[in-house]
Chain A
């Protein structure tokens, strides 16, 4: 495991195999919370924190409990429960320790519990047979790509509000057209590494 392979994992997760544009996961918050830049940044930061924490805990659960007991087939249900529990504890911790952080991130936590991107990253780390360090890098790279998309998309949507769009395309239709164009543009990263 070299620094270049870690960099490849990071860039691959963030740009080349972007979770929204190439896997079509996490579309609900992508469409729902991208109308304002401030909401997009808050949601993005919360997703980075939750995916990172949930993936690392999932990795430990899999390799230190499920594999030794021969219960690898239980990973899906175990990860779902672990992610749901983790989000509850994070919300409680943020409520108690930092009201200002809760004000900016806490309201997005219930949305993240149902975000399939969290489960995807936890499962992908196992499927790719990543080590702990690779898991950490991938669990930062993938949500960083999610946040990047959310922020870019939010800035475009804010401008779309004042754009002269045909009546039939206003709202979600033009947003989906923009997302499709972004997916084509990001397809150009495929040959990067």
Chain B
């Protein structure tokens, strides 16, 4: 029975994340904030998603 509770909790949290992510993507970015970028050039981590996103937009 415990394993079912565990699966239920994890599934619930995954669903919560998917709902949050979908709603967040659908919410329009406020005017004037379309091209905001994080100024994190000093960080050298090559695999960072923010860094790769910034590079892709350039």
Contact = CB atoms under 8 A, between A and B. Distances in A.
Partners in one complex: yes
Interface of A: 28-29, 31-36, 39, 65-66, 69-71, 74, 77-78, 81-82, 84-86, 88-89, 91-92, 95-96, 99, 102-103, 106-108, 110-111, 114, 171-172, 175
A31 B42 contact: yes
A28 B48 contact: yes
Question: Majority SS of interface residues in chain B?
Answer: loop
Contacts, number: 104
B40 to A, nearest CB: 4
A35 B33 contact: no
6 contacts: A33-B38, A33-B40, A39-B38, A66-B9, A81-B13, A108-B38
A35 B50 contact: no
A99 B30 contact: yes
A61 to B, nearest CB: 8
Question: Majority SS of interface residues in chain A?
Answer: helix
Given A103-B33, A111-B38, 4 more contacts: A74-B10, A106-B33, A111-B40, A172-B44
B49 A114 contact: yes
Nearest to A80: B13
B20 A81 contact: no
B42 A175 contact: yes
Interface in B2-58: 2, 5-6, 9-10, 13-14, 16-17, 20-21, 23-24, 27-33, 36-45, 48-50
A36 B21 CA distance: 30
B48 to A, nearest CB: 7
Contact of B50 (A74, A96, A111): A111
By Cβ-Cβ distance, the 5 closest A-B pairs, closest first, are A32-B43, A99-B30, A88-B20, A32-B40, A81-B13
B38 A107 contact: yes
